[in-house]
């Protein structure tokens, strides 16, 4: 067995009690508002710093650069990053493989302690991380706080899950034997993370892998590499040995493809678009020369999510849930409500009240905590505006429908609602990933459920109804991985709502649930005959 060399900074830490979700920050309290404004000032003074690649602990600079910019103020550079190319794939995988030969033998208690220490560090700097999210991807204060809180939750939850797996036993002990069931790590994994939850999803996939004993080549989105760089710094501060996580922002077409196809990459954890996810799945399925395993893919690929509002629903609660689900973070969530399906009996009233509610939303700089901030990039804004023009032809524009001009030339789009949309219209079928909501009329619950299930996706959904029989039927027939009753369809909580979807929404990996770490391990049965 290789000698294990782990930084002495990883101090013994055990979870304090049962897991509980990190509480949200109450920004109605003056002291929290004051503290958040202070964090924005502190972090604002740090913008524009240059960050290296980190491969095997070595800091590397490249000729090509990635500039992360504030989507609310595109002239403002948040961070400058090195651009990993295909030539960096071998060094990154080699470094991860060398680290794996030691890290896989580190006790689960020590690996869990690393995550718990990282959670403590992040919790102590919570509002500063919120400020980074506001600057880098345009999250308002509540959305940023939820992202940071979920990051802490993943670290705390997966640390406990690793300890549970370390205590696993076979269902029975066969007479005359000592039987064991060991969940051992897979090897080197590629983690390819998205920009919309650049802290929580990136940290969740990465921490699940390393607490299971794997090592990682981390390729964050080019829209949000700074928060990933800061997370790797936290892991190093918490005592992570060199090479366990290798930080390599770069192009998906070059570096991304190279690590997915690499014969020594054992698994790929990806969150992003359906098109890219399917490409990764296809690439990973091809066995490369020298590869001796079937490569595993853990994919979360988006959705076209619906909320059904039944005729007997609490209309006020439904309006709250639909607006929050459709326009939180400008609709840039795979779980966002992009279709609301309303029963005919209340359709006209609901649509009019929805219009008034949406028109009351504010659009502006997320640093000032507006309801909606910018979309992530100019390219995203153009795509969303094209969909809005399509929607104007496919339905009746109820609210929004255009870009919002600002002095700073941010990428703002007014929250847009298009009514009277056919269930098969483009804006009712294709993922838009922006502040655009299609309203669809249904005759009754039968019709509503048929519409809700008529897309290629199956991620989240919700039903507002006061009728228990209707809810029970939706529980059986609404084909999504995360279904909610009488609440919004966004905001899955770690532990309570394991997250992942069906069909083209991905491999239903159930992040934040008791099954997730199994995806980063393999079960080894050991039987010893007793004398």
Each residue's pLDDT tens digit, 350-393: 999 999 999 999 999 999 999 999 999 999 999 999 999 999 99
Kindly compute the dihedral angle of the four CA atoms of residues 25, 138, 511, 470, in this order, to the nearest 10 degrees.
80
Whether residue 5 lies inside any domain: the answer is no
The 10 Å Cβ neighbour count of residue 480 is: 24
DSSP string across 75-101: EEEEEEEE-B-GGGHHHHHHHHHHHHH
Residue listed under structure tokens 């190319």 = 85
Q: Do residue 83 and residue 196 come from a single domain?
A: yes
Write b or e for each residue in 431-442: b if 16 or more Cβ atoms lie within 10 A of its Cβ, otherwise e.
bbbbbbbbbbbb
Which entry of 300, 343, 394, 431 is annotated as an active-site residue?
Answer: 300
Whether residue 360 lies inside any domain: the answer is yes
For residue range 59-99, list pLDDT tens digits in order: 999 999 999 999 999 999 999 999 999 999 999 999 999 99
Residue 14 to residue 160: CA distance in whole angstroms: 9
Q: For residue 4, is pLDDT > 80?
A: no
Write b or e for each residue in 33-61: b if 16 or more Cβ atoms lie within 10 A of its Cβ, otherwise e.
eebbbebbeebeeebeeebebbbbeeebe
Please give the share of the chain, as a percent, with pLDDT higher than 90: 97
Q: Do residue 441 and residue 335 come from a single domain?
A: yes
Q: What domain range includes position 344?
A: 305-493
What pLDDT score was predicted for residue 17? 87
Q: Do residue 348 and residue 387 come from a single domain?
A: yes
**R_g of the chain computed on alpha carbons:** 23
Q: For residue 8, is pLDDT > 60?
A: no
500 and 208 Cβ atoms separated by less than 8 Å:
no
For residue range 459-515, list pLDDT tens digits in order: 999 999 999 999 999 999 999 999 999 999 999 999 999 999 999 999 999 999 999
Q: With helix as H, strand as E and coil as C, how does 317-364 read?
A: HHHHHHHHHHHHHHHCCCCCEEEEEEEHHHHHHHHHHHHHHHHCCCEC
Residue 417 host element (H or E): strand 416-419
CATH number (domain holding residue 483): 3.40.309.10
- Pick from 73, 310, 329, 111: which is nearest to 214 by CA? 111
Whether residue 379 lies inside any domain: the answer is yes
Whether residue 216 lies inside any domain: the answer is yes
Residue 369 to residue 139: CA distance in whole angstroms: 9
Q: How far apart are the first and last CA of the chain?
A: 27
Query: What confidence tier does 295 reach under pLDDT thresholds 50, 70, 90?
Result: very high
Say which DSSP state 189 is in.
E
DSSP string across 196-250: SSTTHHHHHHHHHHHHTT-EEEEE--TTSHHHHHHHHHHHHHHTPPTTSEEE--B
- Pick from 268, 316, 167, 250: which is nearest to 509 by CA? 268
Whether residue 288 lies inside any domain: the answer is yes
Q: Do residue 212 and residue 240 come from a single domain?
A: yes
Q: Do residue 480 and residue 513 come from a single domain?
A: no
130 part of the active site: no
The 10 Å Cβ neighbour count of residue 164 is: 12
Q: Do residue 385 and residue 280 come from a single domain?
A: no
What pLDDT score was predicted for residue 5? 54
What pLDDT score was predicted for residue 247? 98
pLDDT, mean over the chain: 96
Query: What confidence tier does 10 reach under pLDDT thresholds 50, 70, 90?
Result: low
What pLDDT score was predicted for residue 11? 59
Whether residue 106 lies inside any domain: the answer is yes
Kindly compute the dihedral angle of the four CA atoms of residues 320, 323, 329, 333, in this order, to the nearest 10 degrees.
100
Q: Do residue 51 and residue 183 come from a single domain?
A: yes
Q: Which residue has the higher pLDDT, 349 or 8?
A: 349
| Domains: count for the chain | 2
103 and 244 Cβ atoms separated by less than 8 Å:
yes
248 part of the active site: no
Q: Do residue 486 and residue 354 come from a single domain?
A: yes
Query: What confidence tier does 206 reach under pLDDT thresholds 50, 70, 90?
Result: very high
Q: Do residue 483 and residue 517 come from a single domain?
A: no
For residue range 25-59, list pLDDT tens digits in order: 999 999 999 999 999 999 999 999 999 999 999 99
- Pick from 22, 17, 335: which is nearest to 155 by CA? 22
Whether residue 502 lies inside any domain: the answer is no
Which entry of 130, 136, 236, 334 is annotated as an active-site residue?
Answer: 334
What pLDDT score was predicted for residue 199? 98
Whether residue 252 lies inside any domain: the answer is yes
DSSP-assigned beta bridge partners for residue 460: 482
Residue 66 to residue 77: CA distance in whole angstroms: 10
Residue 227 to residue 129: CA distance in whole angstroms: 8
Q: How many residues does the chain have?
A: 531
Residue listed under structure tokens 């922006």 = 434
CATH number (domain holding residue 146): 3.40.605.10
The distance of Cα 422 from the centroid of its chain, to the nearest Å, equals 30
What pLDDT score was predicted for residue 283? 98
- C-alpha pair distances (Å), 276 with each of 89, 194, 208, 252, 255: 19, 11, 22, 9, 14
Query: What confidence tier does 443 reach under pLDDT thresholds 50, 70, 90?
Result: very high
Q: For residue 121, is pLDDT > 60?
A: yes
What pLDDT score was predicted for residue 12? 56
Cβ neighbours of residue 118 closer than 8 Å, sequence gap 6 or more: 155, 207, 234, 235, 237, 238
Q: For residue 9, is pLDDT > 60?
A: no
Q: Do residue 35 and residue 151 come from a single domain?
A: yes
Q: Do residue 292 and residue 411 come from a single domain?
A: no
For residue range 273-293, list pLDDT tens digits in order: 999 999 999 999 999 999 999
Q: Do residue 379 and residue 349 come from a single domain?
A: yes
> Six-digit token pair at 369?
């905590």
């Amino acid at each position: 067995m290789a000698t294990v060399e782990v930084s002495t900074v990883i101090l013994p830490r055990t979870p304090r009690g049962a897991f509980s979700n990190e509480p949200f920050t109450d920004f109605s309290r003056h002291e929290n508002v004051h503290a958040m404004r202070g964090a924005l000032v502190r972090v604002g003074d740090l913008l524009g710093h240059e960050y290296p690649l980190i491969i095997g602990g070595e800091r590397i600079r490249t000729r090509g650069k990635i500039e992360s910019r504030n989507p609310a103020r595109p002239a403002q550079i948040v961070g400058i990053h090195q651009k990993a190319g295909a030539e960096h794939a071998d060094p990154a995988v080699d470094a991860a493989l060398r680290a794996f030969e030691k890290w896989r033998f580190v006790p689960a208690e020590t690996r869990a302690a690393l995550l718990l220490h990282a959670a403590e560090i992040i919790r102590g700097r919570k509002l500063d991380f919120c400020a980074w999210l506001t600057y880098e991807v345009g999250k308002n204060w509540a959305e940023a706080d939820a992202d940071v809180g979920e990051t802490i939750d993943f670290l705390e939850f997966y640390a406990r899950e690793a300890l549970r797996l370390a205590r696993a036993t076979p269902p029975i002990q066969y007479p005359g034997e000592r039987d064991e069931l060991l969940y051992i790590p897979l090897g080197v994994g590629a983690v390819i993370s998205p920009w919309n939850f650049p802290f929580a999803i990136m940290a969740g996939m990465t921490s699940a892998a390393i607490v299971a004993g794997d090592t990682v080549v981390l390729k964050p989105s080019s829209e949000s590499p700074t928060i990933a760089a800061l997370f790797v710094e936290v892991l190093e501060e918490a005592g992570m040995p060199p090479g366990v996580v290798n930080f390599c922002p770069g192009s998906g077409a070059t570096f991304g493809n190279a690590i997915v196809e690499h014969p020594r990459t054992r698994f790929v954890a990806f969150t992003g678009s359906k098109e890219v996810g399917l490409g990764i799945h296809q690439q990973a399925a091809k066995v490369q020369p020298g590869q001796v395993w079937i490569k595993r893919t853990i994919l979360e690929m988006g959705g076209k999510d619906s909320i059904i509002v039944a005729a007997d629903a609490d209309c006020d609660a439904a309006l709250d849930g639909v607006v929050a689900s459709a326009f939180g973070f400008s609709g840039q969530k795979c779980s966002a409500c992009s279709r609301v399906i309303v029963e005919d009996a209340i359709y006209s009233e609901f649509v009019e009240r929805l219009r008034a509610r949406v028109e009351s939303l504010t659009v502006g700089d997320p640093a000032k905590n507006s309801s909606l901030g910018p979309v992530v990039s100019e390219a995203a804004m153009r795509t969303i505006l094209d969909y809005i023009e399509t929607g104007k032809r496919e339905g009746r524009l109820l609210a929004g429908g255009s870009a919002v001009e600002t002095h700073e030339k941010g990428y703002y789009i007014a929250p847009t609602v298009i009514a009277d949309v056919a269930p098969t219209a483009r804006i009712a079928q294709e993922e838009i990933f922006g502040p655009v909501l299609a309203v669809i009329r249904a005759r009754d619950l039968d019709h509503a459920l048929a519409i809700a299930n008529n897309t290629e996706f199956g991620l989240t959904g919700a039903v507002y109804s006061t009728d228990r029989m209707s809810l029970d039927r939706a529980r059986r027939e609404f084909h999504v991985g995360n279904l909610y009753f009488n609440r919004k369809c966004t905001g899955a909580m770690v532990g309570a709502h394991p997250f992942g979807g069906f069909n083209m929404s991905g491999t239903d990996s159930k992040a934040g649930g008791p099954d997730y770490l199994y995806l980063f391990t393999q079960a080894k049965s050991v039987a010893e005959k007793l004398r």
